[in-house]
Structure 1
Amino acid sequence: MPIEGRDVLRRAITGQWKLSAGGAVLAASHQTGEALVPVVVGVVIDQAVSGGDGRALVTWIAVLALVFAGLSTSYRFSARAAEKAAELAAHELRLALTGRVLEHRAGAEMGRLPGELVSIATADAKRVGAVNVALSAGAAALAGLLAGGVALLLVSVPLGLLVLLGVPPLLALAHLLGKPLERRSGAEQERAAKASGVAADLIAGLRVLKGMGAERAAVDRYRATSRDALTATVRAARAQAWHDGGMLILTGVFIAIVALVGGRLAAQGDISVGQLVAAVGLAQFLLTPLSILAWANGELAQGRASAARIASVLSSPPAVAGGEDDLPPDVRGGIALKEVSYGLLRDVSVEVAPGELLGVVTIDPAVATSLLKVLGRAADPESGVVELDGVPLSSIEPGQVRRAIVVAEHDADLFEGTLLENVGAAAEPGAAWPAMEAAAADQVAAALPYGTQTPLTERGLSLSGGQRQRVALARALAAAPPVLILHDPTTAVDAATEARIARGIRTAREGRTTIMVVTSPALLAGADRVIFVDGDGRITHGTHAELVHDHETYRAAVLT
């Protein structure tokens, strides 16, 4: 069942209902206390000031002080409860979004840049969480309006009825005013997230862009995206201004009518001087809850828009279906592709023996990408089947597949932490250092000021491109999965280091299945067998030496 925006809002509210309800009750107490202030002042004038009763004056001033102490305390604790509810709700939404993005079946990232997902998990989650504050404040404002209306009823029935009967249509108009803001707020968040995603994407590939001389194209792309985001932000700000201005006019007219009616009643002698002061004070007080309602309505409109964006991620269709079969108890690592079609792959049939070190060369990088997706079960074939030890991958739960088959992407990211933590986080005990030696990452450690304990910055940007590749390769080797698929792991290292890595991979992966999707002659020379996929999808088998000697297209692909 697809998740909708209202489901996200309901989850954010009901998940923190105790805090929200407590905050609303305390905030209502604050607003009720605020409504009592002009009433008490009116009583002071009628019973103490007009009659010159000093004892009554002291008594009512003490009552007024108690009212202020109560409303001040209730405001402080209501704000604390509402803010806590908002932060906890936003935190739970971030956890849900993170869980969906990291789910083994994937799919949430389809059509979205990483920066866009980050924006949804931060800005949108915060806006939805803030709905708890808006609801608490809105409930308090309604309580204030009710208290003010009842107080005005005690002063004058016409004034009280005017407030109690005038608030519902005012709220209906406020809801209508919030509709354009909701629509444009959603567009604003979407375009801002897009701009954030493009910026993060360009920064991550800055070195490549500079190497290609594509800085101007990158700037033009970001300028266009940023301009779209600016346009959406201006439209949302304009909608916010119309909403706030409209609410200000409505509330101002409403309060003016209340004050006008109260003044006429006082002039006719239907209410006393103290009651007039109370009525005027209550009319002025009504501006606060009405302003709070206007603010809460705007927050709810923006919260609904953000909830819809969060729902779109949470309800994203999975890239692959689940599976009911289990992996074999002892995975041998035999891989078979039987007439597999996916992307640019067409009717590909390949068998990889358990423990084999296989090289795969493709002319088109998109073919390599398609192959990596079906082997790692990031996607299921459109037709055909991929098997692991005779069991179709499509029948196995994706999480189990990825414990048996690890795809080490070409652009694998490193994380904040020490060099050793990056390599050994998923490693078997004692496997980290041998894996580093196999990947020539021990040279990286030797070049760093604190060796393996040197802290790395986010994404490993404190290292060079070649150093990052060697550390990422060491991490993949240290995991020691039954099947390891490597995609161009040495494109940024020198020839001598690449030859050492080729020997290291063979040693480290002895007895385990390894598939290298590469064009490196050094790595291919160390493979047991190489398959070459040409531009028409035809497959040629052989050793690297045989293919270099006999196949002109292969020779051009790996030696030029």
Structure 2
Amino acid sequence: MGRPGSPTDGGVLRRSVLAQRGRIAATSALFIGHQAGEALVPLLIGVVLDQAITTGDAGALAFWLAVLAVDFLLLSSCYRFGARVGLLAGVRADRVLRLALAARVLDGRGGADADLPPGALVSIATADVRRTAMVNYLLPHGIAAVVGVVVAGVALLTVSLPLGLLILLGTPPVMLLVRALSGPLERRAAAQQEQAAQAAGVGTDLVRGVRVVKGLGAERAGVSRYRAVSRASLAATLHTSRAEAGYSGAVIAVNGVFLAVVALVGGGLAAAGEITAGNLVSAVGLAQFLLGPLGTLGEITASVAAGRASATRIAKVLDAPPAVTGGGAGLGAVAGRVGLTGVTGGRLAGLELTVEPGELVCVVTADPGEAMALRRFLGREADPEEGRLTLDGTPLTDIAPDALRTAVLVSPHDADLFEGTVQDNILAGGSGDVSAAVRAAQVDRMAAALPDGLATAVTERGRSLSGGQRQRVALARALHADPPVLVLHDPTTAVDAVTEAAIAAGLRDVRAGRTTIVLCSSPALLAVADRVVYVERGTVTASGEHAGLLRDHEGYRELILS
């Protein structure tokens, strides 16, 4: 979607409309045909009255009734096909915006979701996209409504010059007044959408962490938090609804006053004998016809106001600055040497570490924030404030994010699973035989207790599995991917000690010859590592075998045995 225009100038809305300009033009032409046909109806009725009914000419009556029937056929056909093309324009625009949002959120440079919870992103990708895309369908209605007003004005000029001038000169001020009335509604719609997104975000977070919330006994605090944001969202919605009701009433009143003036002037002309009975019927019919396009203009103005507010929220995601920049180089064969030099950022303070190709290194941190920062830097979710990280001597900042992630796979502690089967989730890491990864992660033992083994269905985010089962499936997926460098963050915290020991042995075997970095404090994993690195206060304070560190380093011993 690019970045032209600021997030507040409707750039997203303009680009969405321009991308569908062909369909919008076709829809507008068809809707204009419909509006013109509608405007002709009162004119034709007036002609029937003057030239057939008043004169008693049966032939003229049959002829003009046939003309009226053809007019109805054309106007109904124009609306039918116009609605079809217009809806297609809206659907296509909806699809383009959703794909653009998905591409931005999944961009390897990150940053799109820095300040937004998942629920807010879902709200933007659904409700906001729908409101923005609907402008592509509504815009032709607005164009046709303007043309309908012009056609009615021209028709009235043929009936009566004063009435025609009244319509043509009076409509622009009415439209400007309606547009001015929509300003407060647009501002309130933006606030309401923001509050709704926050409520959706909190709700999603609570559902995702429901087991943690229950484990901490924090159900009441969670409910209170959601109740607070929900009430704020409700208040904003009611505020917007009141504004919409006031706006609709004001538009009806403005249109009603304008049409009353038209009817009053037309009645005076008829009473003075300046127009015929048929002319009067046509004038009154055209005045009533104007209720439609003028009302449509009011409704479209409100919808476009909501669409602009939604487009602004979409633009904030699409135009969000990346979390990391640079990096365009590809990668050849990867040996797997990982180097950290003076890495500072998060909780790290000048961290120095080198992991040789094929080495299994466990990193133990005194502060969980240190492990989190290290994981983010290795996965290049963020760059350190100072220092650099290298892969085979090449700075990570020089490597294209997509190429880097094929070489360095970071599996977080809370890795998500997907809907499908257990085997489908493991195969998401790569193709081929999964048996080695399944055995190493002890998924085979777990599958034996499941109703359909590896073919057992997994619900959204793996909620149908226990915490330990989810960890084993996620670990098997990472092992099956078989990247040159694998970074695991606390992969066994939810499994029992016997299973953990078996996983540790399987991990060492299946990753033989491949670089593996494990951020953990698990004695079973530490015992099979080639080397254990102890990080304290953001820097390496000890390094060696697990048994030696237990014996010689008091801080390490207290952390592991506590």
TMscore range, shorter length: over 0.9
CA distance in 2, matches of 1:172, 1:314: 32
CA distance in 1, matches of 2:238, 2:355: 57
Query: Is 1:229 paired with 2:211?
Result: no
1:50 partner amino acid: T
**Counterpart secondary structure, 1:234:** helix
- Does the CA-based 8 Å contact 1:339-1:349 persist in structure 2? yes
Q: CA deviation at 1:539?
A: 2.5
Identity %: 54
Q: CA deviation at 1:2?
A: 5.7
- Does the CA-based 8 Å contact 2:425-2:477 persist in structure 1? yes
After superposition, give the CA deviation of every residue in 1:29-63 in whole Å (9 maximum; x if it has no partner). Answer: 11111111111111111111111112211221111
Residue segments in structure 1 that go unaligned for 5+ positions in a row: none
- Does the CA-based 8 Å contact 1:428-1:480 persist in structure 2? no
- Does the CA-based 8 Å contact 1:3-1:315 persist in structure 2? no
Q: 1:56 aligns to what?
A: 60
Q: 1:496 aligns to what?
A: 498
1:325-344 matched pairs, under 5 angstroms:
325-327=329-331, 329-344=332-347
Query: Is 1:377 paired with 2:380?
Result: yes
1:83-482 matched pairs, under 5 angstroms:
83-327=87-331, 329-430=332-433, 432-482=434-484
CA distance in 1, matches of 2:232, 2:355: 49
CA distance in 1, matches of 2:137, 2:278: 36
Q: CA deviation at 1:12?
A: 0.9
Q: 1:31 aligns to what?
A: 35
- Does the CA-based 8 Å contact 2:440-2:506 persist in structure 1? yes
1:34 partner amino acid: E
Q: CA deviation at 1:550?
A: 2.4
Q: CA deviation at 1:404?
A: 0.5
After superposition, give the CA deviation of every residue in 1:350-394 in whole Å (9 maximum; x if it has no partner). Answer: 111111111111122211111011111111111101011111101
2:263 partner amino acid: A
**Counterpart secondary structure, 1:225:** helix
Q: CA deviation at 1:537?
A: 4.1
| Residues 287 and 26 of structure 1: CA distance in aligned 2, closer, same or farther (over 3 Å) | same
Q: 1:4 aligns to what?
A: 6
Residue segments in structure 2 that go unaligned for 5+ positions in a row: none
CA distance in 2, matches of 1:314, 1:140: 32
- Does the CA-based 8 Å contact 1:4-1:312 persist in structure 2? no
- Does the CA-based 8 Å contact 2:347-2:537 persist in structure 1? no
Q: CA deviation at 1:536?
A: 6.0
CA distance in 2, matches of 1:536, 1:128: 47
Q: CA deviation at 1:448?
A: 2.2
CA distance in 1, matches of 2:343, 2:32: 65
After superposition, give the CA deviation of every residue in 1:374-430 in whole Å (9 maximum; x if it has no partner). Answer: 111111111101011111101111111111100001111111122111101232422
2:405 partner amino acid: R
Query: Is 1:528 paired with 2:530?
Result: yes
- Does the CA-based 8 Å contact 2:348-2:537 persist in structure 1? no
Q: CA deviation at 1:325?
A: 2.7
CA distance in 1, matches of 2:116, 2:298: 34
After superposition, give the CA deviation of every residue in 1:432-489 in whole Å (9 maximum; x if it has no partner). Answer: 1210110011123222222222221111111111111100000000000010000111
CA distance in 2, matches of 1:236, 1:433: 57
CA distance in 2, matches of 1:487, 1:95: 31
CA distance in 1, matches of 2:6, 2:447: 49
CA distance in 2, matches of 1:216, 1:180: 37
Query: Is 1:42 paired with 2:46?
Result: yes
CA distance in 1, matches of 2:445, 2:271: 93
2:249 partner amino acid: G
CA distance in 2, matches of 1:547, 1:243: 73
Q: 2:541 aligns to what?
A: 539
Moved more, 58-67 or 92-101: 58-67
1:201 partner amino acid: D
| Equivalent of residue 557 in structure 2, options 551, 555, 558 | 555
CA distance in 2, matches of 1:288, 1:444: 66
**Counterpart secondary structure, 2:177:** helix
| Residues 559 and 365 of structure 1: CA distance in aligned 2, closer, same or farther (over 3 Å) | same
**Counterpart secondary structure, 1:533:** strand
CA distance in 1, matches of 2:351, 2:29: 66
2:153 partner amino acid: G
- Does the CA-based 8 Å contact 1:337-1:348 persist in structure 2? yes
| Residues 486 and 154 of structure 1: CA distance in aligned 2, closer, same or farther (over 3 Å) | same
- Does the CA-based 8 Å contact 2:347-2:538 persist in structure 1? no
Number of residue pairs matched?
558
CA distance in 1, matches of 2:560, 2:40: 85
| Equivalent of residue 512 in structure 1, options 511, 514, 528 | 514
CA distance in 2, matches of 1:264, 1:226: 56
TM-score normalised per structure 2: 0.97
**Counterpart secondary structure, 2:526:** helix
- Does the CA-based 8 Å contact 2:486-2:517 persist in structure 1? yes
**Counterpart secondary structure, 1:319:** coil
2:66 partner amino acid: A
2:448 partner amino acid: A
**Counterpart secondary structure, 1:347:** strand
1:378 partner amino acid: E
TM-score normalised per structure 1: 0.98
CA distance in 2, matches of 1:535, 1:465: 30
- Does the CA-based 8 Å contact 2:363-2:533 persist in structure 1? yes
CA distance in 1, matches of 2:241, 2:446: 51
Q: CA deviation at 1:159?
A: 0.6
- Does the CA-based 8 Å contact 1:357-1:506 persist in structure 2? yes
